[in-house]
Amino acid sequence: MTRPTRARAALAVAVLCTAAALAGCTPDARPRAAAQAAATTAPAAHAPVDTSCQPRRSLRPTGALPQPGKMPAGSYMAQIQKRGRLVLGTSQDTLLFSSRNPFTGAVEGFDVDMGRQIAEAIFGDPGKLKIKVIPNDKRVDDAADGTVDLVAYTMTINCARWKRVNFSTVYYDAGQKVLVSTTSPAKGIADLRDQRVCAPNGSTSLENIAKHPAKPIPVGRASFGDCLVAFQQNEVDAISTDDTILAGLAAQDPYAQVVGEKFTEEPYGLAMSPEHPEFTRFVNAVLERNRANGTWKRTYDRWLGRFGAAPQPPAPEYRD
């Protein structure tokens, strides 16, 4: 049984309108050929996993947090304060974590609130935040070279990435699942042998698809929204990424469902340049405070409360 492509094509246009920030979207905004051109060659199926570190461990905070507006002289936080804005790199199409509100045009979600909390700690004002939408496969590059101060982008902490950026302690624990059509018999990734499964380029999700023993066919797209469009246009059979992201995608498509158990662990961290370790320690101090004072729980309830009661926030782990 095939998916109802006519209805799905209309949904695809709606998704693209949102991702384009309502910028003059028309039904012709995403030709099929352009969507196909966005695919890239899949990663090697059996690339070795880098286990050279304990990735959940970050730099320990030192001392009490400075008062907002009074950042230590010579610190990177003082540079940000002088500039007047914290620059946050994030997505605009990851519903619930960082997506553009179709009514206000603002990018909002759990990840954006993480950035707002760091801005508030520096300035005393969570609005002192400049959002820079970046491609999924540029998250590490833009954090490493200082294009942005901070990346909050449903980004899995791993040893390979630690070699180029600093990560905060874990602020959210996710796990990879699969989204399929409501007419699909698949109950999980193991049922998708030789089927096309989409994930964003540069993501650990795409790597995990490539090395799964069921041998699905990994298909890369530029973003989660592009994967959803490819799914709606029958260019791929499934999408596989973190469970909470898939829940947001499924909420946009009545013909989609999330199935199966988690088959990976995906600890999310905030990424930043390793050139400023004092900033990493500062960010970790803010996260530690917000776990203790209930801010993390309130953030969860605001964006993810529809999935049930908030769990305990991830416990911080330190390497020094």
Domain 57-172+266-318 is in which class? alpha beta
Give the CA count within 13 Å in the CB-facing half-sphere of 89: 24
Q: Is 39 helix (H, G, I), strand (E, B) or coil?
A: coil
pLDDT for the residue numbered 40: 52
* CA distance readout (Å), 244 to 196, 214, 219, 247: 21, 23, 20, 5
| Nearest-angstrom CA–CA distance, 189 and 243 | 13
Fill in the amino acid letter for 275: E
Which residues in 91-182 belong to E strands, given as ranges? 93-94, 98-100, 107-108, 129-133, 150-151, 166-167, 172-174, 176-181
| Nearest-angstrom CA–CA distance, 143 and 151 | 6
CB 136 within 8 Å of CB 155 = no
Q: What is 5-49+176-259's CATH topology?
A: D-Maltodextrin-Binding Protein; domain 2 (3.40.190)
DSSP category for residue 226: H
Nearest to 283 by CA among 272, 296, 292: 272
Residue 262 burial class via C-beta count within 10 angstroms: exposed 0-12, middle 13-18, buried 19 and up: middle
Per this entry, what is the length of the chain? 320
Q: What are phi and psi of 159, to 5 degrees?
A: -65, -40
Q: Return the bridge partners of 239, or none.
A: 179, 198
* Per-residue model confidence as pLDDT tens for the chain (320 residues): 445 553 454 444 444 444 443 333 333 333 333 334 345 545 554 557 888 999 999 999 998 999 999 999 999 999 999 999 999 999 999 999 999 999 999 999 999 999 999 999 999 999 999 999 999 999 999 999 999 999 999 999 999 999 999 999 999 999 999 999 999 999 999 999 999 999 999 999 999 999 999 999 999 999 999 999 999 999 999 999 999 899 999 989 999 999 999 999 999 999 999 999 999 999 999 999 999 999 999 999 999 998 889 999 999 999 99
CB 166 within 8 Å of CB 277 = yes
CB 202 within 8 Å of CB 22 = no
Burial 129-161 (b: 16+ CB within 10 A, else e): bebebbbbbbbbbbbbeeebbbbbbbbbbbebb
The CATH 3.40.190.10 domain(s) of the chain lie at 5-49+176-259, 57-172+266-318
Q: Is 27 helix (H, G, I), strand (E, B) or coil?
A: coil
